[in-house]
Structure 1
Amino acid sequence: MQTHVHGTFHMHECRSQVKKCLTEVKNTISLVARLSRVEEALLEYPSLPDWVVLSSSDSASNADSQV
């Protein structure tokens, strides 16, 4: 009986962790989409200094180096 209770608790704990991870993934996807829109908006202003607008490849390489 104790094994069943422990297994049920473990499954509940795993589900909780999966939900948290999915929420983080959704938030990350939303953030990337918003950053993409910001980047597109910034590209419409050619008077901005070059360092303000990062290309997608620069952003990706920076993200990779921070992992």
Structure 2
Amino acid sequence: MTQPAPSAFPPPAGPPPAGGGFAPPSGPPYVPPAQYTPPPYDGFWQLWDKPWQQCLHDKFAGTVVVKVAP
């Protein structure tokens, strides 16, 4: 019979929490960061970006605005 491979994580020190489960996290609750919000002048950027007429979010993403005739 072979020996099991040693664990990369050592067993926790001390007795397990009451009830045998995991202890609830302590401290403030996790709040995910807000999604990216473009600055208020983002939409106006296209007014002086000639000839491409790209907004800032277009420039950061590396996209190109293409206008087609209807």
Q: Which has the larger radius of gyration?
A: 2
Q: TM-score, normalised by structure 1?
A: 0.33
TM-score (norm 2): 0.32
